[in-house]
């Protein structure tokens, strides 16, 4: 019941937008070249999917199963490309690597004027950049999955004579599959709704089509109808995710494990591992950060007076407060939903839970308008039944609208992360707890929550970072006087004051390190001998013996 309610609440804005598009009369204007846009979208999703899977999955395996120089720092640095807002990355990347950028200039200076590199502003260029900035979704999920793996399975495989490589392909990878699929689904939806990066790289996806119709043809109704097409892609992605997870259920024996025992890499192997991580970080993180630092320093020297905006503290406080509230809210909802599904979710509960993730597959600006429309209707209904003034300016008069829209959009990453962790909890554990008479609340607190802890931590980080850098919703729904760091960046970057925008952009990256740091501190704490409640220990005993 609860899950259905959440699903209704979360899908209301999306439904409002779509209905609004269909109800309004007038003919649908379809952008020319829509079939090509569909193909381009597919190509981009495929490329970025493979890219993030290889980079994110590979790095997670590298840092979890091995020890090498700088590993302890790299392990959390590798999350940070996620903190780079897309509306910054496109310009920074092209201004660095395109024809007039320092890289090609340098190459031409060395190799002569005739030197030409392949066009950077292209589909392959976009795939590379998006893969290198979105891989942390897969990386975080995969790492949580690897940490959750109980050593029993791994040890069993090894003791039966399987080598490390064979164990990886036959045991570790299949066990991590649900998490990889969940991370991949998030990457796909992010790719689907991205407008900033694809616009910079000249890649015409279906989302670009939606924007062209909305902002180029002044036809919002057709644009919303087209966004149904984007939603269909998302349905396909989620169906694909279910397929990838497969019918097989990979539940873990013996509760939360110590995970894999890392192997030390020394000499050139260690150096190679470190270099691999640094290379992965180069394009998605180091290049933009160095470039931004350069601009920030230049601006500080040029105009020290206006360099620091005194309202900066306010903006940052706003960003952090909203992100914190939304992260906690989304994760709580995700936990309760996964829990409800587990405790006896029928088809409808499952479907409802899945429905809540679609908000992530709708471009932020469209979700924002959906919230406005949903409240406008509520307002009219309230006035019709005699409430004077209706809801008034509830949405845009306070931050409630922003919080609601964020919930709609970011429930997906929270649910994907938590649910992937739940997938590895043995149903027999839930059943034992139930048959022992534990109340649903107690099962959530003492069984499900502790077992899904890595997923919960990942969910908190993902939502916090996403919420800090989110732009279109806050730009559209904020009340007067409410500015966040991302709005601040955009006010400057949107008008091409890149030198001035550099510092606030770096602040976003800095703010994102806080949740990342907390996550890894928490993970390290979890690495220590388990402080599990007696109930779990007891049940681990039972299920360990009576297993599947």
Partner 1 sequence: MRRPAALAGAVLALTATLSGCGFLGIGGEEPGDIQVYSARHYDLEEAFLDFEKDTGLTVDFIYGDDAELLERLKAEGEDSPADLFVTVDAGSLWNAAEQDLFAPVDSPVLTDAIPAAYRDSEGRWVGLALRARTVAYNPDNVDPTEFDPKETYAGLTDPKWQGRLCMRDSTEAYTQSLVAGLIDLYGRERTLEIVQGWIDNDVQIMSNDILLLEALDSGACDVAIVNHYYYARELDEKPDLNVELFWASQDGAGTHVNVSGGGVVASSDASAQAQRLLEWLATDGQEEFVGDNHEYPVNPAVEPDALVAAFGDFKPMPINAEAYGALNAEAVDLLAEAGYE
Question: Based on CB atoms, which residue is closest to partner 1, 24 or 243?
Answer: 24
The beta strands (E) that lie in 159-276 are given as: 263-264
The three-class DSSP label of residue 66 is strand
How far is it, in rounded angstroms, from Cα 262 to Cα 209?
A: 47
Among 208, 412, 414, 459, binds partner 1 (CB under 8 A): 208
Among 457, 505, 506, 516, binds partner 1 (CB under 8 A): 457
How far is it, in rounded angstroms, from Cα 129 to Cα 89?
A: 9
The β-bridge partners of 263 are 66
- What is the separation of C-alpha 393 from the centre of its chain, rounded to a whole number of angstroms? 31
| Residue 513 CB, nearest approach to partner 1 (Å) | 14
DSSP characters over 484-504 = -HHHHHHHHHTTT-HHHHHHH
The DSSP letter of residue 24 is: S
Among 344, 494, 510, 547, binds partner 1 (CB under 8 A): 494
Question: Based on CB atoms, which residue is closest to partner 1, 218 or 268?
Answer: 218
**Which residue carries 């000249």 as its tokens?**
202
Nearest-CA neighbor of 65 among 159, 171, 137, 160? 171
The size of the interface with partner 1 (CB under 8 A), counted in residues, is 80
Please tell me whether residue 309 binds partner 1 under the rule CB under 8 A: no
Please tell me whether residue 327 binds partner 1 under the rule CB under 8 A: yes
DSSP characters over 73-140 = HHHHHTTGGGGS-HHHHHHHHHHHHSTTSHHHHHHHHHH-TT--PPPSSSHHHHHHHHHHHHHHHHHH
Stretch that binds partner 1, among 4-12, 30-38, 54-62, 69-77 (CB under 8 A): 30-38
Evaluate whether 443 touches 343 at the Cβ level (below 8 Å).
yes
Please tell me whether residue 475 binds partner 1 under the rule CB under 8 A: yes
Question: Based on CB atoms, which residue is closest to partner 1, 212 or 539?
Answer: 212
Please tell me whether residue 325 binds partner 1 under the rule CB under 8 A: yes
Among 314, 440, 538, 544, binds partner 1 (CB under 8 A): 314
Please tell me whether residue 372 binds partner 1 under the rule CB under 8 A: yes
The DSSP letter of residue 360 is: G
Stretch that binds partner 1, among 5-13, 123-131, 196-204, 284-292 (CB under 8 A): 196-204
Question: Based on CB atoms, which residue is closest to partner 1, 276 or 491?
Answer: 491
Please tell me whether residue 415 binds partner 1 under the rule CB under 8 A: no
Please tell me whether residue 29 binds partner 1 under the rule CB under 8 A: yes
Please tell me whether residue 303 binds partner 1 under the rule CB under 8 A: no
Please tell me whether residue 326 binds partner 1 under the rule CB under 8 A: no
Please tell me whether residue 518 binds partner 1 under the rule CB under 8 A: yes
Please tell me whether residue 468 binds partner 1 under the rule CB under 8 A: no
Per-residue string for binding with partner 1, 136-175, x by CB under 8 A?
A: ----------------------------------------
Please list every residue from 209 through 228 that binds partner 1, using CB under 8 A.
211-220
Question: Based on CB atoms, which residue is closest to partner 1, 139 or 201?
Answer: 201
Please tell me whether residue 449 binds partner 1 under the rule CB under 8 A: yes
Among 15, 156, 278, 400, binds partner 1 (CB under 8 A): 400
| Residue 503 CB, nearest approach to partner 1 (Å) | 17
Among 112, 161, 437, 480, binds partner 1 (CB under 8 A): 480
How far is it, in rounded angstroms, from Cα 488 to Cα 508?
A: 10
Please tell me whether residue 268 binds partner 1 under the rule CB under 8 A: no
Count other Cβ atoms within 10 Å, centred on residue 164. Answer: 14
| Residue 138 CB, nearest approach to partner 1 (Å) | 23
How far is it, in rounded angstroms, from Cα 123 to Cα 140?
A: 26
- Residues 6+ positions from 241 with CB-CB distance below 8 Å: 181, 182, 184, 185
Please tell me whether residue 524 binds partner 1 under the rule CB under 8 A: no
Three-state DSSP string of 153-222: HHHHHHHCCCCHHHHHHHHHHHHHHHHHHHHHHHHHHHHHHCCHHHHHCCCCCHHHHHHHHHHHCCCHHH
Please tell me whether residue 236 binds partner 1 under the rule CB under 8 A: no
- What is the separation of C-alpha 512 from the centre of its chain, rounded to a whole number of angstroms? 13
State the burial class of residue 300 (Cβ atoms within 10 Å of its Cβ: 0-12, 13-18, 19+). Answer: middle
């Amino acid at each position: 019941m609860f899950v259905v309610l959440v699903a209704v609440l979360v899908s209301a804005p999306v439904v409002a937008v779509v209905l609004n598009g269909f109800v309004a009369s007038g003919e649908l204007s379809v952008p020319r070249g829509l079939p090509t846009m569909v193909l381009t979208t597919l190509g981009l999703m495929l490329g970025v999917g493979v890219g993030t899977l290889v980079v994110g999955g590979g790095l997670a395996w590298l840092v979890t199963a091995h020890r090498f120089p700088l590993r302890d720092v790299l392990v959390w640095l590798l999350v940070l490309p996620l903190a780079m807002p897309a509306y910054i990355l496109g310009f920074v990347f092209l201004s660095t690597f395109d024809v007039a950028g320092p890289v090609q200039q340098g190459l031409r200076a060395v190799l002569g004027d005739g030197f030409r590199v392949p066009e950077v502003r292209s589909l392959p260029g976009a795939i590379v950049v998006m893969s290198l900035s979105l891989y942390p979704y897969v990386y975080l999920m995969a790492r949580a999955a690897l940490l959750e793996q109980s050593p029993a399975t791994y040890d069993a495989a090894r003791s039966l004579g399987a080598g490390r490589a064979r164990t990886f392909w036959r045991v570790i990878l299949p066990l991590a599959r649900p998490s990889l699929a969940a991370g991949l689904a998030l990457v796909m939806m992010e790719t689907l709704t991205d407008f900033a990066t694809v616009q910079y790289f000249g890649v015409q996806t279906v989302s670009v089509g939606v924007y062209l119709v909305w902002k180029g043809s002044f036809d919002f109704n057709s644009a919303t109808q087209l966004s149904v097409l984007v939603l269909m892609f998302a349905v396909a992605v989620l169906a694909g995710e279910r397929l990838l997870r497969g019918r097989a259920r990979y539940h873990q024996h013996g509760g939360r494990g110590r995970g894999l025992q890392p192997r030390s890499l020394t000499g050139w192997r260690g150096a190679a591992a470190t270099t691999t991580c640094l290379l992965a970080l180069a394009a998605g993180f180091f290049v933009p950060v160095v470039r931004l630092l350069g601009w920030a320093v230049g601006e500080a020297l040029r105009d020290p007076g206006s360099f620091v905006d005194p309202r900066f503290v306010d903006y940052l406080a706003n960003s952090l407060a909203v992100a914190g509230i939304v992260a906690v809210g989304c994760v709580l909802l995700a936990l309760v939903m996964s829990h409800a599904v587990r405790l006896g979710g029928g088809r409808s509960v499952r479907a409802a839970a899945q429905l809540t993730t679609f908000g992530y597959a709708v471009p932020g600006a469209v979700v924002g308008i959906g919230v406005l429309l949903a409240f406008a209707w509520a307002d009219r209904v309230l006035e019709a039944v005699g409430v004077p003034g209706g809801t008034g300016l509830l949405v845009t008069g306070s931050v409630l609208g922003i919080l609601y829209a964020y919930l709609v959009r970011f429930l997906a990453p929270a649910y994907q992360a938590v649910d992937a962790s739940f997938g590895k909890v043995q149903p027999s554990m839930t059943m034992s707890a139930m048959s022992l008479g534990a109340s649903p609340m107690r099962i959530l607190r003492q069984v499900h929550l502790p077992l899904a802890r890595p997923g919960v931590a990942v969910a908190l980080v993902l939502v916090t970072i996403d919420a800090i850098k989110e732009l279109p919703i806050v730009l559209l729904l904020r009340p007067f006087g409410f500015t966040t760091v991302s709005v601040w960046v955009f006010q400057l970057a949107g008008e091409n004051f890149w030198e001035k925008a550099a510092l606030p952009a770096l602040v976003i990256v800095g703010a994102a390190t806080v949740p990342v740091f907390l996550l890894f501190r928490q993970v390290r704490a979890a690495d220590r001998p388990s402080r599990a409640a007696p109930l779990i220990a007891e049940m681990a005993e039972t299920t360990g013996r009576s297993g599947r």
